[in-house]
Amino acid sequence: MLKVRTTVGIADQTHEYLMLRAIRERRTIGDIIDELALVSQPRLSEGDLDRQIEKDLAYFRSVGRKIKKGVKNWNATKIIREERDRDNA
């Protein structure tokens, strides 16, 4: 699995819990976080990922078209929520 090195701020108690668990289980803190976050789920295939990206881009293009049509005092959040609610109706 591809790993990304990152820096995050967590509470002292959380760090202590993760560190002690990792030591006890002879694993890394990252492995514990992956397990807790259920990140070990299978990733989308390349085709599925491309379809999801295209779907998201089409959605944002439709929002952009509404804004270009001259909607005065447009609120992107409101437009996106209206689109989402219409699609989920």
Tell me which residue has tokens 């492995």: 31
* Consecutive H or E run containing 63: helix 46-68
Which residue stretches of the chain are H helix?
12-25, 29-37, 46-68, 76-88
Instruction: State the average pLDDT for the chain.
Output: 82
pTM confidence score: 0.42
Residue holding tokens 């804004």? 67
Amino acid identity of 79?
I
Residues 9-24 have a mean pLDDT of 93
Q: What is the pLDDT of residue 52?
A: 86
Return the pLDDT at 25.
Answer: 94
